[in-house]
Structure 1
Amino acid sequence: MATAIPVLPAGQAKALDDAYQAAVSARRLRTLMVLGIIVVLILISANLAHVRPLTLFGNIGNFGSFIGKTIPVLTFGNFFADMREWYWNFPKWLGLLGQTILIAYLGTFMGAIVAFCLCFLASANLAQSRWTRIVARRFLEFCRTVPDIVFALIFVIAFGLGPMAGVFALSIHTVGALGKLFAEVVENIDMKPVEGMSAAGANWFQTIRFAVLPQVLPGFASYSLLRFEINVRGAGVMGFVGAGGIGQEFLVAIRNFYYTDVSAILLMIIATVILIDLGTEQVRHRLIGIGEHR
């Protein structure tokens, strides 16, 4: 059965249409104002940072020239000999790359432990007092705000050259980064188990153990693996200030214009990061349940 659609009086319909058009116009105006502010801020930032598009396009050839110099000459008839010449120092570079991975692993492990201990104090739903949360949050902010390479330089001055400085630097930065992420995971838990444990007379530590950890451990592990991948990249730069790893050898190659060595070391770092990314991605997916039912 057909249903008649009521028609508003012309005056009321016009008033509603005018109100709608006014609302749309106001929204468009706000959007244009926001876009205008963003454009102005971009222009101011570019000016203060001395970003010159003409200079960029005028000197882009230098970048291409440098990349071209790092590409070795590989011939089909003498391919393996050319590869041996390109990776002439492969055993040493491989050892330094392994040291870089171990620096990243140990820095991630130590930082994750401290972050695990502090995240419950920094979370709004579990912190026992407001001041405890404030102190924990500010400490985590300090740890992640100071660049890890600055920490590495400080530790190199304090303890001398070597991978220990890189481990400590990555550990501190990892505490700040993972502590924030862990705290956010804790703040998003279901509070009903926590309330049930508290009602049953459990203390704070028992509540964390039995009501919180089962909910957050997969997220903690996932973020820790992601941080390990990031720290591998960070550890590759630590050698620039003498904190161990392959970074120092990479810097020497750049400074001395050993072009083919630059590309050889860089490709090793890229390949390592790709392999670690693929491996940690599979582990993360298993932890959070992606692909279980495929």
Structure 2
Amino acid sequence: MATAIPHRPDAQNQALVDGYEAAIAARRRRTLLGIAILAALILAAARISEVDLGTFFGNLGRFTSYIGRIFTLEDGHLVFTNPAEWLWGLRKWLRLLGETLLIAYLGTVIGGLGAFGLSFLAARNMVVAPWLRFSARRFLEFCRTVPELVFALIFVVAFGLGPLPGVLALGIHTMGALGKLFAEVVENIDMKPVEGVAATGANWAQGVRFGTLPQVLSNFVSYTLLRFEVNVRGAAIMGFVGAGGIGQDLVEAIRKFYYSDVSAILMLIVVTVMLIDLVTERARHALIGRELGR
């Protein structure tokens, strides 16, 4: 015997359809309102910052012509046709590039060590005293808020030209950036090992050493390697303010209109950063894989 399939009344179906269409219409209105607000904010920001699209498109040709000039030798041929002339200062540039890498390395080490110590003081689950946590967090905010070039300018005035101002500038900024990341890692750990270590009568430092550090060390190293990549790029422009590295030759070539030298130095910086990215990426993935395999 066939069973009759119940059907909703047409009025009930129509009510459901009307409710669905009303919900879709309301969602569409919210989307359009959000787009309108976003567009208004963009226009307001452009007006306040004096962005002129006419000037931008009117001078766009200068930018493209400059790109063409930096890849052209004095004789009018492309730089790739005569690598010997294009890379005439390779030995000097490699030495300066090595100096740039050392600036980035020392800045990362100094900043990483400072961030390592302060991150435990800035973590909410590791420090009970609010004033100590507040002080550590505000100091880290100051370190990462002030731009690296501003620190470099200050240290150039204090210590003179050379790599030292660049190292100090990158170290302070790295401390602030890594300190925040490290503190967030510490705040997300499992507190049971820390509580277990504390139950044995261990002090705060021993709780950090045996309860916290094993959980966060791989993430700390991964973030530090990532920061080293960023610092290599930052160290490349430290020379703009006289803080050592290859940036000093780069800004000199730009100011003196040595077009082919600009492209040669930029090419060396890009290749170096790419190689460092590849190496540190493999190292980070190895650390993450080892951590997941435990």
Fold match (TM-score > 0.5): yes
Structure 1 residues 128-181: Cα deviation after superposition (integer angstroms, max 9, x where no partner): 222222111111111001000000000000011110000000000000100011
Aligned to 2:243: 243
Q: Which moved more, 1:190-199 or 1:201-210?
A: 190-199
SS at match of 1:289: helix
Work out whether residues 152 and 168 of structure 2, in 8 Å CA contact, stay in contact via their aligned partners in 1: yes
Work out whether residues 103 and 235 of structure 2, in 8 Å CA contact, stay in contact via their aligned partners in 1: yes
SS at match of 1:88: coil
Q: How many residues align?
A: 289
CA distance in 2, matches of 1:53, 1:129: 53
Aligned to 1:130: 130
CA distance in 2, matches of 1:36, 1:107: 45
Aligned to 2:218: 218
Alignment map for 1:29-48 (pairs within 5 Å): 29-48=29-48
Alignment map for 1:1-294 (pairs within 5 Å): 7-8=7-8, 14-73=14-73, 82-289=82-289
Q: Which moved more, 1:111-120 or 1:185-194?
A: 185-194
Letter of the aligned partner of 2:65 in structure 1?
Answer: S
Deviation at 1:17, TM superposition (A): 4.7
Deviation at 1:72, TM superposition (A): 3.3
CA distance in 1, matches of 2:6, 2:167: 74
SS at match of 2:63: helix
Structure 1 129/83 Cα, relative in aligned 2: closer, same or farther at 3 Å? same
Work out whether residues 74 and 82 of structure 1, in 8 Å CA contact, stay in contact via their aligned partners in 2: no
CA distance in 2, matches of 1:195, 1:102: 41
Deviation at 1:8, TM superposition (A): 4.9
Structure 1 residues 236-269: Cα deviation after superposition (integer angstroms, max 9, x where no partner): 1110110000111101000000001111111011
CA distance in 1, matches of 2:81, 2:18: 79
Structure 1 291/137 Cα, relative in aligned 2: closer, same or farther at 3 Å? closer
Structure 1 104/82 Cα, relative in aligned 2: closer, same or farther at 3 Å? same
Work out whether residues 122 and 136 of structure 2, in 8 Å CA contact, stay in contact via their aligned partners in 1: yes
Structure 1 residues 47-73: Cα deviation after superposition (integer angstroms, max 9, x where no partner): 122222222222111111111111134
Structure 1 residues 3-61: Cα deviation after superposition (integer angstroms, max 9, x where no partner): 98765555555555544444443333333322222111111111122222222222111
CA distance in 2, matches of 1:4, 1:109: 78
CA distance in 2, matches of 1:70, 1:55: 23
Deviation at 1:82, TM superposition (A): 2.3
Structure 1 260/138 Cα, relative in aligned 2: closer, same or farther at 3 Å? same
Work out whether residues 141 and 176 of structure 1, in 8 Å CA contact, stay in contact via their aligned partners in 2: yes
CA distance in 1, matches of 2:14, 2:190: 49
CA distance in 1, matches of 2:197, 2:221: 24
Structure 1 139/5 Cα, relative in aligned 2: closer, same or farther at 3 Å? farther
SS at match of 2:59: helix
Q: Which moved more, 1:88-97 or 1:153-162?
A: 88-97
CA distance in 2, matches of 1:182, 1:288: 16
Letter of the aligned partner of 1:47 in structure 2?
Answer: R
Letter of the aligned partner of 1:112 in structure 2?
Answer: G
Structure 1 260/10 Cα, relative in aligned 2: closer, same or farther at 3 Å? same
What TM-score do you get using the length of structure 1 for normalisation? 0.90
Q: Percent identity?
A: 62
CA distance in 2, matches of 1:258, 1:180: 41
Structure 1 213/291 Cα, relative in aligned 2: closer, same or farther at 3 Å? closer
Structure 1 126/262 Cα, relative in aligned 2: closer, same or farther at 3 Å? same
For structure 2, list consecutive stretches of 5 or more residues without a partner in the other structure: none
Q: Which moved more, 1:42-51 or 1:111-120?
A: 42-51
Work out whether residues 72 and 86 of structure 1, in 8 Å CA contact, stay in contact via their aligned partners in 2: no
CA distance in 2, matches of 1:87, 1:292: 45
RMSD: 2.6
